Structure 1
Amino acid sequence: MADGSDRPRAAVRAGGGRRWRRGARAVRAALVLALLTPALTGCFEEPTPHDAVQEFLVGWQTGDEEGFAQAAARTDGDPAAVRRALADVGLQLDAASFRFSLKSLRMDGDTAEARYHAEVDLGENQPLWEYDGVLPLRLVNGTWKVRWSPSVLHPKLRPGERFAVITNSNGRQPILDRDGDSLQEEQTVYVASVVPAKLKDPAKLCEELARVTGFPADRLLSRIRSAPPNELVPLATFGRAKYAQLRDKLKIPGVNIYEDEQPVAPAPPTQIVGQVNVVTPETEQQLGGPQRAGDTVGRSGLQKAYQDQLTGSTETRVVTVDASGEEVTELAAWPGRANTPVRTTIDGSVQTAAELAVNGSGPVALVAVDVATGEIRAVATEDMHQERDALAGRYPAGTAFSVVAAAGMLKSGIRPSQKVPCTGDRSVGGARFQQSSEVVGTTPTFQAGLAHGCVTALASMARLVDGETLAAAAAQFGIGAGWSLPLRSFSGHVPPAVTDAEKARVIVGQSVQVSPLSMALVAAAIAGGTWHPPTLVTSPASPDPTADVPNPVATAPITLDEGVAKQLRAIMRAGVESGSAKAAATARGRVYGVAAEVGHVENKQPVRLSWFIGYQGDLAVAVLAKRGDPATAAAVAGSFFSAARSAA
């Protein structure tokens, strides 16, 4: 069976069901005539069953009272009963349209048999049902008539039976951490439902429910009419707050409210996991057509990026039911596309450690990655956003970026022991740089200048390195690379640097833009000797292509020069032992890292940022705090490493 969910819809709603546009009726009739006439003209002498078959199928396909009357007139049944039966078929199937084509027509004296092919569009987000039917005909007083019985509508439909459409959703699959534990918590939703057979006036009930919920009354009524009469039919689902607001208004005779538990409330990292909402009239429009009550839609984070995989598609069955409402025969079934969980690289214990570390330190963002793989183990923020700021933020890195520039300078021959004066003020190529710390007035080594983040000392080295070397060093650490995640992310940007002033601004990270994620990967590369692109989701491989996020881009790992990596590790160890990152030394065990302070403009207001990038064991981290004191970010990192070590 073909799934027609991608076909354009030409139907409009009228009288509680969907009907073809009246202005297109002549066109459709002409199409059917074009199908029938070439096959039949000249084959028979009048009278022939040709006109009866044509007018019956065209009238049925037209889908309005005039068409049904035309079709009924070409049968030997009671006209009123036939008109009602044809109208009921559309309601029972909740059909957007019918389309017929003739397969064969055979005469035998005063009887005949026509075989037709039917295509029934079961509506938005539903499949196309195709089947073959038979029209028996006989001469009645010199006029050919279709011999009326329910089997004219479908060969397996018997007297006293009707069609029904049954839909079943498999429910939303979870987002999992790396150990397979769910990153959602149970949340109560409230479902308004009805049993069709128990309703005295379904149309009135739907009008009242539409006024309360905003869902179109005709859609609600169509769901009731197309469902098996004795089954509980969910019509609308509400979250806790919305239900509390509408509780009294939902006391409509015939409407039952039951509670359902769904694992949709996000657990940390909540903004990475994302929010899930039950379907509302507004989200129905966003999703491109009617959804079933109880369906859910991801509004943000991974829930939105992987909406298609998490929800799959609804199982649909067309059946016949008897007068008591019991199912008799299954006529067609579509299993729907299977939905699958989304497995992430988040580590529950590391995430908990990150949440504890940022608590009370905001505004702050922390990203932790695995040294050996680049997999994201935790993302935590306070008064900042986990996706917009931690993964995709664009911030100057200050002298935290200087370790990247140092990789290029060390490789080009600058020695870690080279002496570089750390002054309070320095002009490089016309650009002014200032430093205020206890190291001002000393002449530290290049290594010590990096460990202490002396801006003036580092800027003065611009004349010893060219812009190509700085750009190549940044590329070695994936800055500006083409990698991306199923969520928005930023790999960084280093502007071209030709003059001494431009090179100095790059070296001290003032003109560079990075995200906490990109800097955590820098720290991981120094720790492990290889830069790895980030990974957040391991299964499935790609998100929903209809989501407004990029598909992941494969980027190869980059191996660093081991001699340079070893020197950078020594610099980062000195940064914690005696440099600007010594606040991180509160962590148990050996920590490596550097800290920095840099100015930033946000919403046209100046903001001082503090950075820490470093590692301990198999975890690398970047912390960005919107506070000028470098000790802030370093202290958060120290708390994180202590908590992570305790949880290990």
Structure 2
Amino acid sequence: MTGKARRTVAAALALAAMTPMLSGCLEEPSAHEAVRDFLVGWQTGDYAEAASRTDGNEKVVRKALEDAKLQLDAASFRFDLTGIRGTGDQVEADFRAEVDLGENNPLWEYDGKLPLHLVDGSWKVRWSPSVLHPQLHEGQRFAVDVIPQERQPILDRHRDPLQQQATLYVASVVPAALKNAEEVCERLSKITGFPQDRLLSRIRSARPNIEVPLVTFGRAKFAQLGDQITAIPGVEIARQPQSLAPDSPTQIVGSVTAVTPELVQQLGGPQRAGDTVGRTGLQKAYQEHLTGSTETRVVTVDLKDPTKVTELKKWNPDRATSPVLTTLDRTEQKTADAALSGGTPGMLVAVQASTGEVLAVSTTKEYNQETDAFDGKFPAGSTFSIMSVEALIKAQMDPKQKLACPPDRSVGGARFHQAAPPVGETPSLQANFASGCVTALASLARRIGGSELKASATQFGIGAPWTLPLKTFSGSMKPLSTDAATARAIAGQNVLVSPLSMALVAGAVASGTWRPPVLVTEPKTLDPSVEAAPPKPLNPVPLDAKTVETLRIFMRSGVVAGSARAAAAPGGSVYGITAVATRDRKPLSWFVGWQGDVAVAVLAASPDPTAGAAIAGRFFRGPHPTL
């Protein structure tokens, strides 16, 4: 520390001494100076200066002060001199200590005393271990116990875990059994990349007879480094089973990893050996809830009998761990995964129509459950006709009105093409809806304005500001200022949606009310690190009952007589429509519909317009506890 810094600290201590607690002892400035210099030396790490102000062996005092910092793994000490009292050649000073326990987080505060007496005309601190702390005695040392809480699971709606058992490998040492702790930490640091000084500080601050975990490995990393680790004398490996491997839906549940040097640098904070960190999905979003915080104790340990321990201070975890209860259903998830096993790339999102709760999220390897099924931005195609027809029915259009479905049509300069248009009698609005005739539906652009179409989409949650713990996309529409833009919207060409947003649209028609999505029911809030302030929850939006009834008839005809026939399944009526769309010049096949209380959106990467409906059919024919 520089001379200026030392003078600043000394001045602070001197000012702290100028309190009403002081007695006539201030007439003895040398006593005050002895106290000040001892505390300043201790606080700044100038242990030689501090030791010179005591009556003890300077080498012994220096070592005791150095050891105190190591044994507490302290980042810093800070002292306030709160009073000096006494008469004659016997004086006692009171001080307040604040010890920053570094990566162990808590600030330890305690009151101490410094007895002083005159030695050959000079004031000296009467040395004993109790100078460091009133309860520290000869033959004892400080130690810090750190007890982490076990990581909690992520659960489905029935409280079944959505993780499988995985094995972590923990490298530990017993400090008293090590012949050379510095060498052990040097070798371990070279192999693992963890800083040598941090490994060593954990050993020095632990109780000598207690096993100290230093580094944790996953299976792959241990297979790579295990032989080198076990070759270090004194290092023992313990297998630690934990429910960490994500079960389906794996990308929604998320991955967990043991703390690595790279993660410590990336995340900061008090990550320790044995800690686990959520890297993706809900494991990342709810890291603080799942892991809570550690219990920390400062103790004294008898050097001759380390089992004799006295607790000086204890901090209970300030955040209790708690499982994350989701709305997912393991049976529905297995059914969804099986439905997508036919070889066609795609994804499926299932929600409970009456609540908006997400039941299953499944994708093939080509897609990601979070970034595509929840947050993907895909053209809606003629599935947007659900919103279009809702607006048309409100505008008093007759569902039985005949509308030609030609192969090609131009509306306001925008051109539309319908592959394989029907032959024979001109179809009705209902029949065109059921078959997804783009040219017929686009022709209705002049029957409804862009504002009416936008209002209908808003009722169905398109663009709604919902918030889930994971990334999601509720949809977006381009401005509808021309007939061409409105026609493109009716055809879903300038409307982007996610499979999640369309599953909620299907749920709205099925239940008569649009509801925002729900994925997690407990805890009620996200981690502060993820969400600074909870958003205002969205309210459900009741739909016009008469309009909904007409839409249900339309969507039932999509399965009975329209292009969604492949979605039909026994055990209850299936409702739904199909649509085709293109993204990045690749054809997509939609199905949006429901059976019972389970609403789904399927998006398949296929030129076959019925591919989405076929996947939905396999899903509806599977087991469904929620139906």
Give the structure-2-normalised TM-score: 0.96
Deviations 1:593-631 (A, max 9, x none): 000001112xxxx11111000000110000011112221
**Contact residue 24 and residue 85 of structure 2 kept, 8 A:** no
- Residues 1:320 and 2:306 are matched in the alignment: no
Q: Identify the match of residue 190 of structure 1 among 169, 178, 197.
A: 169
Q: Identify the match of residue 430 of structure 1 among 408, 413, 434.
A: 413
Supply the distance in 2 between the matched residues of 1:21 and 1:506 (Cα, whole angstroms). Answer: 71
Partner of 2:490: 507
Partner of 1:366: 348
Q: Structure 1 21/508 Cα, relative in aligned 2: closer, same or farther at 3 Å?
A: farther
Structure 1 position 547, deviation (Å): 2.6
Q: Is the partner of 1:461 in helix, strand or coil?
A: helix
Q: Structure 1 269/240 Cα, relative in aligned 2: closer, same or farther at 3 Å?
A: same
Deviations 1:392-445 (A, max 9, x none): 111001001111111111111111101100000000000100001251565210
Partner of 1:10: none
- Residues 1:353 and 2:335 are matched in the alignment: yes
Q: Is the partner of 1:230 in helix, strand or coil?
A: coil
**Contact residue 194 and residue 256 of structure 1 kept, 8 A:** yes
- Residues 1:142 and 2:121 are matched in the alignment: yes
Q: Is the partner of 2:401 in helix, strand or coil?
A: coil
Q: How does 1:280-299 map to 2 (within 5 A)?
A: 280-299=260-279
**Contact residue 542 and residue 552 of structure 1 kept, 8 A:** no
- Residues 1:274 and 2:254 are matched in the alignment: yes
Q: Is the partner of 1:44 in helix, strand or coil?
A: helix
- Residues 1:212 and 2:212 are matched in the alignment: no
Q: Is the partner of 1:343 in helix, strand or coil?
A: strand
Supply the distance in 2 between the matched residues of 1:182 and 1:327 (Cα, whole angstroms). Answer: 41
- Residues 1:525 and 2:498 are matched in the alignment: no
Deviations 1:100-159 (A, max 9, x none): 001111022110111100000000351100000011111111111111111110001111
Q: Structure 1 586/333 Cα, relative in aligned 2: closer, same or farther at 3 Å?
A: same
**Contact residue 368 and residue 621 of structure 1 kept, 8 A:** yes
Supply the distance in 2 between the matched residues of 1:448 and 1:22 (Cα, whole angstroms). Answer: 90
**Contact residue 92 and residue 163 of structure 1 kept, 8 A:** yes
Q: How does 1:383-422 map to 2 (within 5 A)?
A: 383-422=366-405
Residue identity matched to 2:311 = E
Structure 1 position 248, deviation (Å): 1.7
Q: Structure 1 22/184 Cα, relative in aligned 2: closer, same or farther at 3 Å?
A: farther
Deviations 1:291-324 (A, max 9, x none): 2211011100000001111111111000000012
Partner of 2:290: 310
Structure 1 position 551, deviation (Å): 5.0
Supply the distance in 1 between the matched residues of 2:234 and 2:498 (Cα, whole angstroms). Answer: 55
Q: Structure 1 388/226 Cα, relative in aligned 2: closer, same or farther at 3 Å?
A: same
Quote the sequence identity (%): 57
Q: Is the partner of 2:555 in helix, strand or coil?
A: helix
Partner of 2:38: 56
Q: How does 1:231-630 map to 2 (within 5 A)?
A: 231-250=210-229, 251-323=231-303, 324-336=305-317, 337-382=319-364, 383-439=366-422, 442-547=425-530, 553-586=536-569, 588-601=571-584, 606-630=585-609
**Contact residue 342 and residue 539 of structure 1 kept, 8 A:** yes
Q: Identify the match of residue 107 of structure 2 among 118, 125, 128.
A: 128
Structure 1 position 46, deviation (Å): 3.9
Partner of 1:4: none
- Residues 1:111 and 2:90 are matched in the alignment: yes
Deviations 1:515-567 (A, max 9, x none): 00000000000001001100000011111121379955510000000110001
Supply the distance in 1 between the matched residues of 2:560 and 2:28 (Cα, whole angstroms). Answer: 105
Supply the distance in 2 between the matched residues of 1:286 and 1:68 (Cα, whole angstroms). Answer: 35
Supply the distance in 1 between the matched residues of 2:261 and 2:6 (Cα, whole angstroms). Answer: 30
Residue identity matched to 2:289 = Q
Supply the distance in 2 between the matched residues of 1:187 and 1:24 (Cα, whole angstroms). Answer: 52
Partner of 2:209: 230
Q: Which segments of structure 1 move beyond 2 Å, counting only runs of 4 or more?
A: 20-48, 547-553, 586-589, 644-648
**Contact residue 137 and residue 147 of structure 1 kept, 8 A:** yes
Residue identity matched to 2:443 = S
Q: Is the partner of 2:496 in helix, strand or coil?
A: coil
Q: Structure 1 504/488 Cα, relative in aligned 2: closer, same or farther at 3 Å?
A: same
Deviations 1:479-536 (A, max 9, x none): 1111120100011112221211111001011100000000000000000100110000
Supply the distance in 2 between the matched residues of 1:59 and 1:349 (Cα, whole angstroms). Answer: 66
Q: Identify the match of residue 47 of structure 2 among 68, 74, 99.
A: 68
Residue identity matched to 2:327 = T
Residue identity matched to 1:120 = V
Structure 1 position 340, deviation (Å): 0.8
Number of aligned residues: 622
Residue identity matched to 2:261 = P
Structure 1 position 331, deviation (Å): 0.4
Q: Is the partner of 1:293 in helix, strand or coil?
A: coil
- Residues 1:154 and 2:137 are matched in the alignment: no
Supply the distance in 2 between the matched residues of 1:531 and 1:108 (Cα, whole angstroms). Answer: 82
Supply the distance in 2 between the matched residues of 1:570 and 1:156 (Cα, whole angstroms). Answer: 81
Residue identity matched to 1:306 = Y
Structure 1 position 22, deviation (Å): 9.8
Structure 1 position 32, deviation (Å): 3.0
Supply the distance in 1 between the matched residues of 2:26 and 2:493 (Cα, whole angstroms). Answer: 89
Residue identity matched to 1:387 = E
Structure 1 position 31, deviation (Å): 3.2
Give the structure-1-normalised TM-score: 0.93
**Contact residue 331 and residue 625 of structure 2 kept, 8 A:** no
Q: Is the partner of 2:130 in helix, strand or coil?
A: helix
Supply the distance in 2 between the matched residues of 1:241 and 1:358 (Cα, whole angstroms). Answer: 30
Q: Structure 1 141/21 Cα, relative in aligned 2: closer, same or farther at 3 Å?
A: closer
Bigger CA drift: 35-44 or 107-116? 35-44
Q: Is the partner of 1:644 in helix, strand or coil?
A: coil
Q: Is the partner of 2:477 in helix, strand or coil?
A: coil
Q: Is the partner of 2:133 in helix, strand or coil?
A: coil
Structure 1 position 362, deviation (Å): 3.6
